[in-house]
Chain A
Amino acid sequence: MDQCQPEFTVPSPPENLTNITSDIKKNPVYVFFDASLSMKGFVVKQPPQDSIYIDLLDQLTSAAEDLGSETLYHKFGRKIEPLDERQVQRMMQENGYYCPDTVQKCELDNKQTRLDKVFSAITADKSGTFIVITDLFISSKDLIGTRKSKLTNPLKELLKQGKSIGILGIMNSFNGVIYDIPTNEGGDITYANAKKRPFYVLIIGDAKNINFVKRRLEQDSLMGISKEIYKFSLITSNVISKNLNLSNFINEESLVNVGDHKLEIDDNGLPIYRFKISQQKKIIQLKFKNNDFIVPDSSGVAEYKFDETFWRIDKDCKNDPGGFRKAKISDFSITDPKDEYLNINIFGKDNFKGTGLRWGYRYFVLANIFTAKNGTAAVDVFSDWDLPKAQAQTFTKTEPVEFKTLNLLRVIKTLNFVADEEFKPTLLASIALDFDLEK
Chain B
Amino acid sequence: MNIGRAMMSGGKSLIVLAPFAIISIWFIFTLFSGPSPSGAITKFFITVVEVGELEQQGVTFSDIAKDLFTMAAWINIWSLAIVTIFALGWSFGSHYLNVDAPGKAKIYAIHWIIVSGILIGLILITNIYCLESTYFRASQEVTGSGGGKITLILTVYYTLAYYLSVLLGTARFVRSSVLLANKLPGNI
Contact = CB atoms under 8 A, between A and B. Distances in A.
B57 A322 contact: no
A358 B58 contact: no
8 contacts: A312-B57, A322-B63, A325-B58, A327-B56, A328-B55, A329-B56, A360-B137, A361-B137
Given A322-B63, A325-B63, A356 B137 contact: no
A359 B141 CA distance: 11
A325 B140 contact: no
Interface string A289-333: 000000000000000000000011000000000100111110000
Interface string B39-75: 0000000000000010111110001000000000000
Contacts of B53: 356
Contacts, number: 33
Given A312-B58, A327-B58, A328-B56, 18 more contacts: A312-B57, A322-B63, A325-B58, A325-B63, A327-B57, A328-B55, A328-B57, A328-B58, A329-B57, A356-B53, A356-B57, A358-B57, A358-B137, A358-B140, A360-B137, A360-B140, A361-B137, A439-B135
Interface in B127-150: 135, 137, 140-141
Contacts of B56: 327-329, 356
Contact of B57 (A325, A359, A360, A439): A325
A326 B137 CA distance: 19
Nearest to A309: B58
Interface in B96-155: 135, 137, 140-141
Which residue of A311, A312, A329, A356 has the most chain B CB atoms within 10 A of its CB atom?
A356
Contacts of B55: 328
Contacts of A312: 57-59
A386 B63 CA distance: 64
Q: Interface on chain A toward B: helix, strand, loop, or mixed SS?
A: loop
Nearest to A324: B58
Contacts of B59: 312, 325
A171 B53 CA distance: 60
Nearest to A325: B58
A360 B59 CA distance: 14
Interface in A344-361: 356-361
Interface pairs A-B: 10 shortest CB-CB: A360-B137, A325-B58, A358-B140, A326-B58, A327-B58, A328-B56, A327-B57, A325-B59, A356-B57, A356-B53
Nearest to A328: B56
A325 B55 CA distance: 10
Nearest to B141: A358
Contacts of A329: 56-57
Interface string A260-290: 0000000000000000000000000000000
A406 B140 CA distance: 63
A34 B56 CA distance: 62
Contacts of A359: 137, 140
A380 to B, nearest CB: 40
Which residue of A327, A358, A439 has the most chain B CB atoms within 10 A of its CB atom?
A358
B152 to A, nearest CB: 24
Which residue of B56, B58, B141 has the most chain A CB atoms within 10 A of its CB atom?
B58
Contacts of A361: 137
